Amino acid sequence: MDTQDQALLAQQAEQLAYLRRILLAPVYDVAVETELTHCTKLSTRLNNQIYLKREDQQPVHSFKLRGAYNKLNSLTEEQCIHGVIAASAGNHAQGLALAANKLGIKATIVMPKTTPDIKVDNVRRFGGEVRLVGNSFNEAQAASIEYAAAEKKTIIHPFDDVDVIAGQGTVAKELLQQLPKVDVVFIPVGGGGLLAGMAVYIKQLRPNVKIIGVEAEDSACLKAALAAGKPVDLEQVGLFADGVAVKRIGTHTFDLIQRYCDEVITVTTDEICASIKDIFEQTRVIAEPAGALSLAGLQKYCQTSKGNEALTAVLSGANMNFHTLRYVSERCELGEKKEAILAVTIPEEKGSFKRFCQTIGNRAITEFNYRYTGKASAEVFVGVRLGGNVDEREQLMQNLRDANYQAIDFTDNELAKLHVRYMIGGKNPQSAEENQNERLFSFEFPEHPGALEKFLAAMGEHWNITLFHYRNHGAAFGQVLTGFNLDNSQQDEFFKHLDDLGYHWQEETKNLAYQAFLN
């Protein structure tokens, strides 16, 4: 038997082992078989039959309970004597707490101090001990490893574990029973446990079913691993879809995904927000960002697909922080292509506003920002609601050009969407010489009580701040836009200071939105 035959036999043995683990996983001691909801409105709109696999219906409102229980059930008595421990700020924490409570095992969950109270309270309600450590997941994870060694506790990994993967694979077992003729399955990706478990099961029973993993564009650790041929660390991950904010795909999960996943789609924050809205309109359930991720990928797939297919997206969780809804509401229309954000130059004269609105026509104006500067013309920042037609935004721009307006489309400009649309202070009033020294920077930092004060203290008082705008999304991160007056002699010291701060930052001085409205 040659090496190739041996490898094939080993792969087949692994497939059978996973199939056996999934079929025998005792997850229904604590989990429930969730519904497969047919989305009639979306099916009509997208010219496909759209289904949602409703993991929001689990007792902890997330699929994570399946893998956690299956892992705990596999432990020996010796491994359970001192209890189990995990670092988590979300669904793994709640799933593990409930699973441990069911089996009579003591569970300790190490969570960042930034974790919303609703999640901390839920872990305690399910019987878990909570230890709040640090202001980030990495700090909590480091602490959990120290606690495990000192207290002889067993660490339960959230995704990169054979038994956890098999537990998550039971979602696929239910799906194929509920919809045997499914054509494409869309599965969210964080560390890869759900995708790996579902893919290895589906491909053995229905190899013609297409498996598509869906990642957040700013947390695409699987896409990076596929490009490198192995798991790699991302320098930075976005925190909006915190349930999939993972810097590195798992080793076990990546090996399975490489073999059984057909395609990976990445989606933007705006597209996720649009899918949260679609799920609510179809089910009256408010999905968390990671929970709506796979539907966002499904909708992107439908833009170029042939149509008339049976498509299923896994609604993986619904543990939404209520305050995040404000941000979702703001961004969902952008994700649906139903709002345009424009910069328009209008004459500074009587009747200008009225003539401009007449050019916009019957479309609803969602916002209009203007400040008098004493010049012959003025820059206005305007939001316009669209009907959803793919060509409508371009038609609006053409109408403005035909009316001799200078207009710039900022609908896809993140600086404009996050900050500029909320800043109505007008142009920089400095002299021309001072204005040349202004540099603009955006920052992102972990959100917690006192976080903004800590940020300001870290920035120090060595540089003159010319502009400042802060946004709290009600989630795990805060956004700051700051202008500094810097001459050439200060720049080396300033950039060294930024690198030493440890915050994610980006220079925005050349961003067109800054040039149009704030400079």
- Known catalytic residues are 64, 316
Strand partners for 311: 50, 184
- Asked whether the beta carbons of 51 and 39 are under 8 A apart, the reply is yes
Strand partners for 266: 215
Residue 415, amino acid: L
CA 399 to chain centre: 36
Q: Which two tokens stand for residue 273?
A: 């927000």
Coil, strand, or helix at residue 158? coil
- Alpha helix (H) ranges present in 132-245? 137-151, 162-178, 193-205, 221-228
Q: What is the rounded CA–CA span in Å between residue 475 and residue 437? A: 34
Q: How many residues does the chain have?
A: 519
Q: What is the rounded CA–CA span in Å between residue 276 and residue 180? A: 27
> Which is nearest to 70 in space by CA: 104, 96, 94, 45?
96
DSSP per-residue letters across 258-274: HHH--EEEEE-HHHHHH
Residue with tokens 């969902």: 332
- Asked whether the beta carbons of 47 and 308 are under 8 A apart, the reply is yes
3-state secondary structure 379-391: EEEEEEECCCCCC
Three-point CA angle 503, 508, 509, nearest 5°: 130
Coil, strand, or helix at residue 184? strand
Exposure class string for 227-246: b at 16+ Cβ within 10 A, else e: eeeebeebeebbbbbbbbbb
Q: What is the rounded CA–CA span in Å between residue 164 and residue 169? A: 9
- Asked whether the beta carbons of 124 and 62 are under 8 A apart, the reply is no
- Asked whether the beta carbons of 151 and 182 are under 8 A apart, the reply is no
Phi, psi angles (nearest 5°) of residue 268: -90, 165
CB-based contacts of 514, cutoff 8 Å, min separation 6: 415, 420, 440, 508
- Asked whether the beta carbons of 119 and 89 are under 8 A apart, the reply is yes
Provide the phi-psi class of 21: left if phi over 0, else alpha when psi is between -120 and 50, else beta: alpha
CA 230 to chain centre: 23
